[in-house]
């Protein structure tokens, strides 16, 4: 199980996948992909959980 770095909550692979799909669906497709975009930041954090990266603050 992965750990959500903001709360320490343990989440299953299925939850990670569902969350990533939801964030990607919320994207406005503005094509800027700025590092300041909160949706891009959330997607990157969630995607990193799938790869098993350590995202501890």
- Cα gap 14→34, rounded to integer Å: 27
Give the mean model confidence (pLDDT) for residues 13-26.
Answer: 93
42: Cα separation from own chain's centroid: 4
DSSP string, 16-55: HHHHHHHHHHH----S---TT-HHHHHHHHHHHHHHT---
Residue 45 has pLDDT above 80, yes or no: yes
Q: What is the pLDDT of residue 31?
A: 78
Q: What is the pLDDT of residues 21-34, one digit of tens each?
A: 999 999 888 877 77
Joined together, the tokens standing for residue 53 give: 């990266």
Reported pTM: 0.74
């Amino acid at each position: 199980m992965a750990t959500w770095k903001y709360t320490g909550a343990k989440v299953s692979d299925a939850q990670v996948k569902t969350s990533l799909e939801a964030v990607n669906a919320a994207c406005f497709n503005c094509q800027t992909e700025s590092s300041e975009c909160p949706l891009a930041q959330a997607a990157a954090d969630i995607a990193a959980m799938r790869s098993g990266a350590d995202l501890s603050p």
